[in-house]
Amino acid sequence: MFQGLQGLQAPKIILSDAQRTILEALQRGTRVAQHFQQRATVVLLAASGQKNKTIAQEMAINHNTMKRWV
């Protein structure tokens, strides 16, 4: 399932404080669609330096989705 993601570092994402605040609000939002919450979480994890494989496994998402989102 995660073929092609082994050990690949997510692209380096540098977030401003404002961007991080918005993504964290989306991540916690109770009136936010689930796919927006999930995508915000993926971007935050990538920004923290986690590997693609780790993020995909943790979030239980397809590797193609992971590649599109980061």
In a domain, 8, yes or no: no
In a domain, 12, yes or no: no
Domain count within the chain: 1
Question: Which pTM value belongs to this model?
Answer: 0.79
In a domain, 1, yes or no: no
Give the range of the structural domain holding residue 36, as residue numbers without chain letter: 17-69
In a domain, 23, yes or no: yes
**For residue range 3-37, what is the model confidence (pLDDT) as tens digits?**
444 555 656 889 999 999 999 999 999 899 998 99
In a domain, 2, yes or no: no
Q: What is the DSSP string of 6-61?
A: TTPBPPP----HHHHHHHHHHHH-SSS-HHHHHHHHHHHHHHTT-BHHHHHHHHT-
